[in-house]
Each structure stands twice: as C-alpha cells, then as structure tokens.
C-alpha cells in the first residue's frame, strides 16, 4: 500500500524532518512521501473536504478526465478543474498527457500536533 503523510509543522520541526528524510534517502532506505504545512489553516485551505472527496473518487475510478469527474460528482467543472490543479501540484493526484486522472497513493495520513514541543 502506497501512502503519503501530511503534517503540520513549524519551521524548526520541518527542517529536522527534512534532515531525517534526507539521511534515510542518502543511505538508500525507503522514505515515505511527506507534505508539510505551516499551520492547520494552510492545511485546511489546501486539502478541503471537496478535494478529499475528489481524491477518493479518482482512487475508485482511475482514468477519468476532469470533466467526467465533475459530472460524476455533480460539481461545477470550473471548481473541479481548480481542485485538480491544486491536488496535482501537491502530488495527491496525477494527470497523464491525455488528461486522465489517477491517484498515486492508497492512503493519506494527516497528522497535526495540538501542542508545540517543549
């Protein structure tokens, strides 16, 4: 199962996480893909409920184009097009040269600590 981890991290924690992943990758060990946001507000702005619904739909129906996804989800094409662009930019959806959508991950893990580390 391919998974991606999405985290809310402050600057210092993000640098430490990056260094840890870099060391693992340099030694050839497997690395779980990660996406980090600086705040919950940024996370919720980038990954909305509608965008999660779109990811789930594409996961179940790979090969759709944006128009087909909009029709099946009963959403406005322009909004789905915007969401697809944002999700492709984050690496949570992929689009081939014919416009067909796919989901590169089977699982998304979202983690946000509620307290700063002491």
Q: All domains of the chain, ordered by start, with CATH? A: 3-112 (1.10.10.10)
Angle (deg, nearest 10), helices 77-90 and 49-60: 80
DSSP H stretches of helix in 1-118: 11-26, 40-46, 49-60, 66-73, 77-90
Per-residue pLDDT in tens (0 to 9) along the chain, 118 residues: 799 999 998 777 777 877 887 887 788 888 788 899 988 999 999 999 999 999 999 999 999 999 999 999 999 999 999 999 999 999 999 999 999 999 999 999 998 877 664 4
What's the pLDDT score for residue 24? Answer: 79
Residue 68 has φ and ψ, to the nearest 5°, of -65, -40
CA 84, chain centre distance (Å): 11
Say if residues 10 and 47 touch (Cβ distance below 8 Å). Answer: no
In this predicted structure, what is the pLDDT of residue 113?
78
Strand partners for 3: 107
């Amino acid at each position: 199962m391919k998974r991606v981890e999405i985290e809310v991290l402050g600057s210092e924690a993000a640098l430490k996480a990056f260094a840890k992943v870099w060391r693992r990758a340099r030694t050839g060990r497997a690395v779980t893909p990660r996406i980090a946001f600086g705040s919950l507000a940024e996370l919720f702005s980038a990954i909305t409920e509608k965008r999660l619904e779109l990811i789930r739909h594409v996961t179940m129906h790979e090969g759709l184009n944006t128009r087909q996804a909009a029709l099946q989800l009963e959403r406005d094409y322009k909004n789905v097009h915007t969401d697809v662009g944002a999700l492709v930019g984050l690496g949570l959806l992929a689009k081939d040269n014919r416009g067909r959508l796919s989901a590169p991950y089977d699982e998304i893990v979202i983690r946000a600590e509620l307290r700063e580390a002491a």
